[in-house]
Structure formats: structure tokens, C-alpha cells
Amino acid sequence: MAQPAWMITLNVQQPAWIITLLVSSLVFIVFWFILKNSKDREEDYDGIKKKGFKIRNVYFVILFSVLLGATFYTITDLPYDRPPEFVNATEVEVEALQFGWDFSQEEFEVGEKYAFHVTSQDVNHGIGFYDEDMMLLTQTQAMPDYTNTVYVEFEEPGTYQILCLEYCGAAHHLMIHEIEVK
């Protein structure tokens, strides 16, 4: 599977889905436990609060640490700046317009590094690079008056789909373009 250069892991979507399911299940268990223990009355609410605040301190530290750790782990390799290995990348101009894409070149090579400079002639669009399995590899917005640059290295040959990922009008879903990677 081809991946953007900055992407270290094999796939981001699947872990996102699994983490969501796992954490949601944990939340469900906590709510279920509390609701199961809600019908009997304990008059000493101060006692419950005291215990609850102690647990909350631990919970806060854990949650804060996880979020802080996730921040440091994920923020080190952002897609915004040109990575050093892309200094000599092939520059490709891409223009979006209702409802199609205009590429300065249509054929690409495996292992080559490309910097796609994306803009729009009319309204906002979004450029999404999809592989042959229709998995989204990377994207950026295509905006009038601005140029966003996205860095891509294709790792496998095939026909890649370019899909519009910002709603741009009645034929938005027809704004598909194919590029060939050899």
C-alpha cells in the first residue's frame, strides 16, 4: 500500500476504530456499574464524595497523562512542512474546478517523491488520494487563492483515485479522477 512519507504506521483508520470501540466499552462498563449500584440508598453522601474525589484524582492523572503522551507521540511528524527527503521531490501542479481535476502530469512512478501543489479555480474542494482498495491515503484542501502542498510517495503500482473531499456543489460526488502509478 502506498503511504504518505510522514506516515509511519501501516494504517491509521483501523487503530482509530479499535480504540474507539475499546474506550466506549470501558465507558459503558463504568456507567453500567454505577447504574447497577444506584437503587439502594447510602445516606452518607459526604463519605461517597470523599472516596469519589480520591478516585477522581487518580483518574485525572491517568487521563491527563494519556492525552499528554498521545500529543507528544502524534505531534512530532506533521504533514504541513516539507520533509527533508522531499527536498528534490517532483513538483506537480493540481487545479480543482467544478467538477473535475487538472493535473500537470498524469503518470507517476513507484518510489519517486512528489510534492502536489493543490489549488482551486472556483470554490473550495478537497483532494483525497485513494488506493486501489479505495482506502484514503492522504488529503488536503483545494482552495481558491491559496495553494496547499501535500507530499506523497507511492509504494505500489496501480490506478489511484482522486476524490473530492470538500462539498462543492451538485456534482461533488462525480468529481473523481484517475492517476496511474507505474
Number of Cα atoms under 13 Å in the Cβ half of residue 42: 8
Closest approach, Cβ 68 to other proteins, in A, equals: 8
- Rank residues 102 and 167 by Cβ distance to other proteins and give the closer one: 167
- Rank residues 58 and 87 by Cβ distance to other proteins and give the closer one: 58
Closest approach, Cβ 111 to other proteins, in A, equals: 21
Residue 1: its H or E element? none
Closest approach, Cβ 106 to other proteins, in A, equals: 22
Closest approach, Cβ 126 to other proteins, in A, equals: 6
- Rank residues 80 and 182 by Cβ distance to other proteins and give the closer one: 80
Closest approach, Cβ 5 to other proteins, in A, equals: 12
- Cα distance between residue 163 and residue 101, in whole Å: 9
- Concatenated DSSP letters of 83-149: PGGGTTPEEEEEEEETTEEEES--EE-TT-EEEEEEEESSS-EEEEEE-TT--EEEEEEE-BT--EE
CA–CA distance from 50 to each of 30, 37, 58, 71, 89 (Å)?
19, 17, 13, 31, 60
- Rank residues 16 and 110 by Cβ distance to other proteins and give the closer one: 16
Q: Give the three-class secondary structure for 179.
A: strand
Is the previous residue joined to 103 through a cis bond, with omega within 30 degrees of 0? Answer: no
- Rank residues 36 and 107 by Cβ distance to other proteins and give the closer one: 36
